[in-house]
Amino acid sequence: MDHNEMEQVLKEVRAGDIDQFGLIIDVMQKPLFVYCYHMLGHRQEAEDAVQEVFLKAFEQLDSYRHNVSFSAWMYKIAYHHCLNLLNRARLNRVVTFLRAGIQTVSRHEGEKKIEDTEYLNNPLHVAISKLSVKERNLLILRVVEERSYDELALLFDIKPATLRKQYERALKKCKSYMLVSEGGDRHDSISATR
């Protein structure tokens, strides 16, 4: 769906044709799932997050402004939602740790993780999961979703040149983590970050 078609659908939804929002879901569901999956690392969490993102987008539709694309606006909602989930999970781990007095507490005890363990053990996924949430978000939006620096600058209210530098640093860190996870030595990973 191109920009003009999306704007027409949004106009119809705002005019009261709620069924048209289904077209938005059809277009955005898969890319948002991939994004949330990379951010959260769990299939069920990503599926739940996507549903919440659509609900929030529908409820906040009047706040959407046309200075960024609708899909970029959706990714911003997804980013904040995933960030909240990750912060809540971190807080739950701390509380569990303090209550139990245990040194290591798994993120989701008893919860079945994504069945695709081969993907989770993939060096790229391992490397991405080691990045900060902000770095992970930038890499996913820039590489996977192919967002321009100008669009990301509008989305995050940061200068494109600053974003480019942040992206380059995150990419170097990711490459370094991949080298280490693939059996490269520490010297290789240090030189990869320079």
At 90-125, the pLDDT tens digits run: 655 544 544 444 333 344 444 434 344 444 456 777
Coil, strand, or helix at residue 83? helix
| C-alpha–C-alpha distance, residues 34 and 40, integer Å | 10
pLDDT at 106: 40
| C-alpha–C-alpha distance, residues 82 and 78, integer Å | 6
Cβ burial of 7 (10 Å; 0-12, 13-18, 19+) is middle
Composition of the chain by helix, strand, coil, percent to 5: 75, 0, 25
Number of helices (H) and strands (E) in the chain: give both, helices first: 10, 0
The reply to whether the predicted model has a pTM over 0.75 is: no
pLDDT at 24: 94
Positions of the chain with pLDDT under 50: 94-95, 97-120, 186-194
Residue 122 neighbours by CB distance under 10 Å: 14
pLDDT at 77: 94
- What is the residue whose two structure tokens read 């363990």? 117
